[in-house]
Structure 1
Amino acid sequence: MRNVEADDGGLWARSLKGEGEAFGLLFDRHRDRVFRHAYRLSGERHDAEDIMSTVFLELWRRRLRVRLVEGSVLPWLLVTTTNVARNTRRAAFRYRKLLDSLPRADGISNANDDLFLQSEMDGDVARALGTLSALDLQLVSLVIFEKYTIAAAASVLNLTPSAAKTRVHRARQRMKNALTAAPTPAPALEGDPA
């Protein structure tokens, strides 16, 4: 059985000399505490995992300036976790503010008026998309064409996930009906053979 240092000082000194195994041992020793702290601050498992990853990346990136407190790197990790979580919250707030400032339904052009859609898509699909409201067109674009989850698209469009799911279902039905409807034949002109 290997001798593992009781405090972080020895492992940290070995890490600074380039021993990846020593840094790995520090990670294993403190990851759970850092994760729990990040989870308390963020409230989301995925965000806490991202915060924890960023904290250990910062530990390595700033390794020459890290101060151990009473032989432990944990206080530095916890303070950095708090700072990263605050930065993450601020970035999310700025992103949400940007999304909220974008024009909503009244600024969306009709799919039939969009030259790109007319030139790149089949005419029937463009007509089917033209049957959708501006909000449904945004939702279909995000979910069907861009492959976002319904929950993510709902968040961007300020809808509940259940409302978005219902809207996507209804939009698909409208598009399906528009695609399966028989095209109306052009009226016959006088003198045309029947």
Structure 2
Amino acid sequence: MGNVQSDDAGLWNRSRNGEGEAFRVLYSRHRDRIFRHAYRLCGDRHDAEDIMATAFLELWRRRAKVRIVEGSILPWLLVTTTNAARNRRRSALRYRRLLASLPRADETDRTAQDPTGAAQEVLDQNVARALDALSAEDVHLVSLVVFEEYTIAAAAAVLNLTPGAAKTRMHRARQRMKNALTGEQPASTSTTPVLEGELS
């Protein structure tokens, strides 16, 4: 459609004015990245689909509070997706612990049939576990910088941090993820205050 504005801000304004086609274009433009982001956070395709749906539902439900960043609605969706994933993980924690404690008779057969798929699933779950070791704000930061390739400065603006605070958080978050993946205990550090530079 040649007359459809290509920028998110224009599409979002039209969506808020009741144009369903503009919202459909935004959904089509960002759904794959939101799904991939949700999948990275949870390591399960079905959960990722539910989380993605929740993010777009929240986009419409909270439309009066949505922030466009650098002409794009994507950062808001990414942060909302992270929140939805964390909420889902908390609410399902007991259920997952129960499932994990149950024996899986077919696990060996499934691994033998599809060793690559099984290895990828383990990797996905390990990444999700490593992200779970971070605070909510650090998951937002890692998601924007590492997975979505925003600059530290752009991610800091989205999260209302100074670039210096974002850089410090990023360094510490990477170390926590590494420790979670390797099973190492974090090295003792000096008792400096927890991150300075956050904007009020």
TM-score by structure 2 length? Answer: 0.49
1:3 aligned to 2:10? no
Question: Which residue in 2 is equivalent to 1:21?
Answer: 21
Gaps of 5+ in 2: 108-200
The share of aligned pairs that are identical, in percent, is: 67
Deviations 1:21-66 (A, max 9, x none): 1111100010011011011111111111111001000001001110
Matched residue SS, 1:82: helix
What letter is aligned with 1:160? Answer: R
1:158 aligned to 2:105? no
- Which whole-Å CA distance do the structure 2 matches of 1:2 and 1:52 have between them? 28
Question: Which residue in 2 is equivalent to 1:50?
Answer: 50
1:69 aligned to 2:85? no
Aligned 1:21-170 pairs, distance under 5 A: 21-96=21-96, 155=99, 158-162=102-106
- Which whole-Å CA distance do the structure 1 matches of 2:101 and 2:34 have between them? 33
RMSD between superposed Cα atoms in Å: 1.9
CA deviation after TM superposition for structure 1 residue 7, in Å: 1.2
Distance 1:33 1:156, change over 3 A: closer
4+ runs deviating over 2 angstroms: 1-4, 94-97
Question: Which residue in 1 is equivalent to 2:165?
Answer: none
- Which whole-Å CA distance do the structure 2 matches of 1:27 and 1:72 have between them? 13
- Which whole-Å CA distance do the structure 1 matches of 2:101 and 2:37 have between them? 31
- Which whole-Å CA distance do the structure 1 matches of 2:37 and 2:2 have between them? 30
Question: Which residue in 2 is equivalent to 1:172?
Answer: none
CA deviation after TM superposition for structure 1 residue 156, in Å: 8.4
- Which whole-Å CA distance do the structure 2 matches of 1:34 and 1:157 have between them? 31
- Which whole-Å CA distance do the structure 1 matches of 2:96 and 2:6 have between them? 45
Distance 1:159 1:40, change over 3 A: same
CA deviation after TM superposition for structure 1 residue 94, in Å: 3.6
TM-score by structure 1 length? Answer: 0.51
Would you say how many aligned residue pairs link Structure 1 and Structure 2? Answer: 107
- Which whole-Å CA distance do the structure 2 matches of 1:78 and 1:156 have between them? 29
- Which whole-Å CA distance do the structure 1 matches of 2:4 and 2:25 have between them? 9
CA deviation after TM superposition for structure 1 residue 92, in Å: 1.1
Distance 1:89 1:4, change over 3 A: same
CA deviation after TM superposition for structure 1 residue 157, in Å: 7.5
Query: Relative contact order (alpha carbons < 8 A, sep ≥ 6): 1 or 2 greater?
Result: 2
What letter is aligned with 2:25? Answer: L
CA deviation after TM superposition for structure 1 residue 4, in Å: 2.8
- Which whole-Å CA distance do the structure 2 matches of 1:56 and 1:75 have between them? 13
